[in-house]
Amino acid sequence: MTTVAVDVAIAGAGLPGMSLAVSLAHAGLRVALVDRAPIALPEFDPATWDARVYAISPGSARFLQATGAWQALPPDRITAIEAMHVVGDGGACLDFSAYDMNERALAWIVEERSLRNALLPQVRSAGVEVIGEAPFVGLSFTPEAALLTLGGAAPGELQARLLVGADGVRSWVRTAAGIVAEPRSYGQTAVVANFNCARAHHGVARQWFQDDGGVLAWLPLPGRRISIVWSAPEALAEELRALAPDALAERVMRAGGGALGALAPLTPAAAFPLSLLRLPATVAHRLALVGDAAHGIHPLAGQGMNLGLGDAEVLAQVLRERGPVADPGAPVLLQRYARRRAEPVLAMQAVTDGLARLFGPPTPWLKSLRNAGVAAVDRLPVIKRFMAQPALR
């Protein structure tokens, strides 16, 4: 069995894992990136659109720029969110503007595949050891290292002074390391799809809290196109997924009050179950967790990917600035990472979980109260700025 010794092994080649790999390699560490799936550039027809998109915050964009990936994105595949219009289930409205926040954009909408295409060449050019199609079959720890055993066509072992679990909400690494937590289901499924629209969106993202406890978001894509995320109760989600594409477009158009005129299907609908994940710890001996392996939130604020990129940025910063502590898996460094990430993650979980619960129950008195609150916040610019700041980092 072949053994590869590195400073840091990152298990999981999603966007947080890849961005962390580039950042650590630039800091002079020997890095391996390993995944059970192939690690390769996705092949796609540029005339098509990816149903999976992310709202990348200004802070995340700056981090991706430092990796070299942001400037490699095709400009015609990115859309700036200039403003956001939120409607409560009783009709109260809340508006955010990039101009009012002194930002170029509240966020940028980018396809997942475009981000992968921009990041993977940076991973390879940074000198990261890339190992794809390697199932994780064993994990053990010594005082000096984490030992990750790999299966597949070329079985081997990764020996790392620090192992980073970046392998998603059902993280194999997290479970194998004995950090036990079961995601708590929201009883909702996110239905996502892209549509052509009859009228221009002018860079405005729109969101509706609905009577049934669901949340519908329209996110601007380049041209007259939008991507939607409909966080719906499971029965409604099944109903939506069963609709023919044209019927789904009609349903989405009506749910949004025809704000952009008629919609036409651009991609098939996909669905993702929604859950909240809170862990007792995100670090352990020779181990750190990032991204969905470390936390899970409701997508109504569109901040899941930004939290994951924030994890990668902070962990890279802690290791880059470790000073006389040569060992990247030293407990003092891992605790420093955990402390720096605890507040922003818990704050975002509290906000998203609180909103999901607040707008969930169809209680008449609660409906009136929450919509009165939405209307009141819209009249208080200082409060709106305070609410928006965490999403801009």
Secondary structure (H, E, C), the chain: CEEEEEEEEEECCCHHHHHHHHHHHHCCCCEEEECCCCCCCCCCCCCCCCCCEEEECHHHHHHHHHHCCHHHCCHHHEEEECEEEEECCCCCEEEEECCCCCCCCCEEEEEHHHHHHHHHHHHHHCCCEEECCCCEEEEEECCCCEEEEECCCCCEEEEEEEEEECCCCCCHHHHHCCCCCCCEEEEEEEEEEEEEECCCCCCEEEEEECCCCCEEEEEEECCCEEEEEEEEEHHHHHHHHHCCHHHHHHHHHHHCCCCCCCEEECCCCEEEEEEEECCCCCEECCEEECHHHCCECCHHHCCHHHHHHHHHHHHHHHHHCCCCCCCCCCHHHHHHHHHHHHHHHHHHHHHHHHHHHHCCCCCHHHHHHHHHHHHHHHCCHHHHHHHHHHHHC
Domain membership flag for residue 49: no
| 169: containing domain | 2-43+121-183+276-356
Regarding whether 168 and 22 lie in a shared domain, the answer is yes
Q: Sign of the CA dihedral 343, 393, 203, 117?
A: negative
- Whether pLDDT at 122 is above 90: yes
Domain membership flag for residue 322: yes
| Pairwise CA distance, residues 241 & 73, whole Å | 31
Instruction: Convert the pLDDT of each residue in 172-186 to its tens digit.
Output: 999 999 998 888 898
Number of folded domains that form the chain: 2
**Which residues does residue 62 pair with via DSSP β-bridges, in sequence order?**
none
Regarding whether 107 and 82 lie in a shared domain, the answer is yes
Instruction: Convert the pLDDT of each residue in 235-283 to its tens digit.
Output: 999 999 999 999 999 999 999 999 999 999 999 999 999 999 999 999 9
CATH number at residue 318: 3.50.50.60
C-alpha distances in angstroms, 344 versus 36, 329, 385? 30, 23, 16
Mean pLDDT estimate for the chain: 90
- Whether pLDDT at 166 is above 70: yes
Regarding whether 201 and 178 lie in a shared domain, the answer is no
Place of tokens 């994890």: 311
Give Cα 198 to chain centroid, integer Å: 29
Average pLDDT over residues 326-341: 97
Regarding whether 60 and 179 lie in a shared domain, the answer is no
Regarding whether 109 and 194 lie in a shared domain, the answer is yes
CATH number at residue 371: 3.30.9.10
Regarding whether 341 and 203 lie in a shared domain, the answer is no
pLDDT in the model for residue 15: 98
Domain membership flag for residue 125: yes
Domain membership flag for residue 361: no
**Closest C-alpha to 308, from 18, 9, 8:** 18
Regarding whether 162 and 141 lie in a shared domain, the answer is yes
Domain membership flag for residue 335: yes
Regarding whether 284 and 322 lie in a shared domain, the answer is yes
- Range with lowest mean pLDDT among 41-55, 279-293, 331-345: 41-55
Regarding whether 333 and 235 lie in a shared domain, the answer is no
Q: Which residue has the higher pLDDT, 191 or 212?
A: 191
Regarding whether 377 and 303 lie in a shared domain, the answer is no
* Percent with pLDDT over 70 in the chain: 89
- Whether pLDDT at 383 is above 70: no
Domain membership flag for residue 48: no
Domain membership flag for residue 19: yes
Q: Which residue has the higher pLDDT, 332 or 300?
A: 332
Regarding whether 347 and 298 lie in a shared domain, the answer is yes
Regarding whether 327 and 201 lie in a shared domain, the answer is no
**Closest C-alpha to 309, from 5, 14, 105:** 14
Place of tokens 């092949």: 43
